[in-house]
Amino acid sequence: MITFRKNSVTGFVVPPSPFQPRFYDMLMLPAKFWILSVICMVYYSAVFPFVSLGQVFLVKKYDYSLGQANFVISEFSHTICFSGYF
């Protein structure tokens, strides 16, 4: 017996999908996808800690004021986000 789910908002009956995803299907993705995923993961794990801890570092190490440290961190963040290299 096939059961159908009814969408409570639209009232449409949605039949279940015959495709059942498996973990093995994820391994069949192309190598370019995995390389891009690893690059993004490494990049963001390197940038976000600096953005969150950079203000304290600049204040303690280089005797910046809080305003100057905020400005430097915000400019660094904008440069990283809007550069064509990343």
33 domain-assigned:
no
Give how many domains the chain has, as a whole number: 1
Q: Which residue segment(s) compose the domain that 79 sits in? A: 53-86
70 domain-assigned:
yes
**What are the tens digits of pLDDT across the range 23-73?**
888 889 999 999 999 998 988 888 778 777 888 889 999 999 999 988 888
Burial 28-43, CB ≥16 within 10 A → b, else e: eeeeeeeeeeeeeeee
17 domain-assigned:
no
81 domain-assigned:
yes
Residue 36 C-alpha from the chain's centroid: 12
9 domain-assigned:
no
Whether pLDDT at 5 is above 50:
yes
23 domain-assigned:
no
Angstrom distance (rounded) from CA 43 to CA 85: 12
Give the pLDDT band of residue 1 (cuts 50, 70, 90): very low
Q: Are 56 and 63 in contact (CB under 8 A)?
A: no
